Amino acid sequence: MLRRTALLLLATPAIAQPTWRPDRPVRIVVPFPPGGSNDVIARPLAEKLQGRLGQAVVIENRPGAGGAIGAQQVAQAPADGLTLMVTSTSFVATAAIQRTPYDAVTSFDSVAVLARAPFIVLVHPAFPARTMAELIAFARANPGRIDYASSGPGSIGHFLTEQIGLIANVRMNHVPYRGMPPAVTDLVAGNVQMLITTVASANAPIREGRVRVIAALADGGPASSPRVPNAREALGQDVAGGAIWWGLFAPRGLPAPVAAGIQAAVRDALAEPDVARVYEGEGALPAFSPMEAFRTELAADLARFRDIAARAAIRPE
- CATH number, position 19: 3.40.190.150
Q: How far apart are CA 126 and CA 124, in angstroms?
A: 5
Contact 198/120 with Cβ under 8 angstroms? yes
Determine contact, residues 287/2, Cβ cutoff 8 Å: yes
What pLDDT tens digit does each residue of the chain (317 aa) get? 454 444 444 444 444 444 789 999 999 999 988 888 899 999 999 999 999 999 999 999 999 887 889 999 999 999 999 999 999 999 999 899 988 999 999 999 999 999 999 999 999 999 999 999 999 999 999 999 999 999 889 999 999 999 999 999 999 999 999 889 999 999 999 999 999 998 888 989 999 999 999 999 998 766 555 578 999 999 999 999 999 999 999 999 999 999 999 999 999 999 999 999 999 888 899 999 989 999 999 999 999 999 999 999 998 76
How confident is the model at residue 225, as a pLDDT?
Answer: 57
**What is the domain range of residue 190?**
118-235
Q: Are residues 128 and 228 in the same domain?
A: yes
Q: Is residue 154 part of a domain?
A: yes
Which residues contact residue 197 at a Cβ distance below 8 angstroms, ignoring those fewer than 6 apart?
Answer: 119, 120, 122, 151, 157, 180, 183, 184
Residues 61, 80 share a domain? yes
Output the furthest CA–CA distance in the chain (Å, rounded): 64
Same domain, 96 and 132: no
Contact by Cβ (8 Å): 240, 93:
no
Contact between 25 and 57 under an 8 Å Cβ cutoff? The reply is yes
For residue 30, the SS3 value is strand
Inside any domain, residue 276:
yes
Number of domains in the chain: 2
317 in any annotated domain: no
| Predicted local distance difference test score (pLDDT) of residue 227 | 73
The Cα 317–Cα 313 span in angstroms is 12
Domain match, 109 and 44 both: yes
What span, in angstroms and rounded, lies between the C-alpha atoms of 210 and 204?
Answer: 8
38, 91: one domain = yes
Entry field: residues in the chain: 317
Check which CATH number belongs to the domain holding 213 and give it. Answer: 3.40.190.10
Whether residues 111 and 250 fall in one domain: yes
Last residue within a domain, chosen from 235, 265, 282: 235
Q: What local confidence, expressed as pLDDT, does residue 50 receive?
A: 95
Q: How many angstroms separate the CA atoms of 81 and 84, rounded?
A: 7
User: Looking at the structure, do residues 145 and 122 belong to the same domain, yes or no?
Assistant: yes
Residue 24: phi and psi, rounded to 5, are -145, 165
pLDDT of residue 80: 97
Examine the domain organization and report whether 15 and 84 are in the same domain: yes
What is the reported pLDDT for 222?
A: 61
Check if the beta carbon of residue 152 is closer than 8 Å to that of residue 316: no
Instruction: For residue 228, give the nearest of 242, 241, 240 by alpha carbon.
Output: 242
Q: Name which of 251, 203, 198, 211 is nearest 89 in CA terms.
A: 198
Q: Residues 195, 102: one domain?
A: no
Domain for residue 143, yes or no? yes
Structure pTM? 0.86
- Looking at the structure, tell me whether residues 159 and 262 fall in a common domain: no
- 38 by DSSP, 3-state: which? helix
Which of 235, 268, 286 is at the close of a domain? 235
| Residue 73 shares a structural domain with residue 128 | no
With a CB cutoff of 8 Å and minimum separation 6, the contacts of 202 are 122, 184, 187, 195, 211
The residue from 179, 208, 235 where one domain ends is 235
Report yes or no on 215 lying in a domain.
yes
Residues 6+ apart with CB under 8 A from 24: 55, 82
pLDDT at residue 224, as a whole number:
53
Q: Are residues 224 and 183 in the same domain?
A: yes
